[in-house]
Amino acid sequence: MSSNIRSFLAIEIDENLKKSILNLQNEFKKINTNIKFVNPENMHLTLKFFGDISLDCSKKIALKIEDIIKNYNSFELELENIGSFPNKNYIKVIWIGFNENKTLSNLQKELDNEFYKLKFKKERNYTSHLTIGRVKGPKNKDLVKKIIDENKNIKLGKINVNKISLKKSTLTANGPIYEDLKVFKVI
């Protein structure tokens, strides 16, 4: 049995915003399409996906995070607009974006540079986003595109970022289960 854990670094979303996101997901649910929606308890902004790592590596990651996070104060992010990856004509992921935020950008880059020293690949084009659904087929693609277009300038609310979490992800037949490995306070 492997002692590796699948992990990532995340900013979690508060309950009020989850309700707003669920309302948006419900717009897609009204049409007959093949979208697997992210469960509210799993909604988050990923700062870095590590994949399968050892427990020892997770401890090294935690030390890097502790060194960097102490230089940051809490900050605010606004969830705004909706989009898709890889693009509007070939939709695999539906996401909600965040306002441009210098603090988030600096934090992500600084963390990424430190993780690179631990042999993780650097993010090429980091885009802060929250995945709300994964499209599993082309069924009613035009209606999906229409909902995205109608909501492209949506503003869902703000979150105060006062912690980031190193998470463990266990894949199951019913979807992933996330657990905190360590939570880092942003004061």
Residue of 10, 28, 38, 44 marked active site: 44
| DSSP sequence for 26-72 | HHHHTS---EEEPPGGG-EEEEEEEEEE-HHHHHHHHHHHHHHHTT-
Question: What are the start-end ranges of the E strands in the chain?
Answer: 5-12, 35-37, 44-53, 75-86, 91-98, 129-135, 155-161, 163-170, 177-185
Quick check: 11 and 160 in contact, CB under 8 A?
no
| Catalytically annotated residue among 13, 111, 129, 147 | 129
Q: Is 71 a catalytic residue?
A: no
In the annotation, is 129 catalytic?
yes
Active-site residues, by number, are: 44, 129
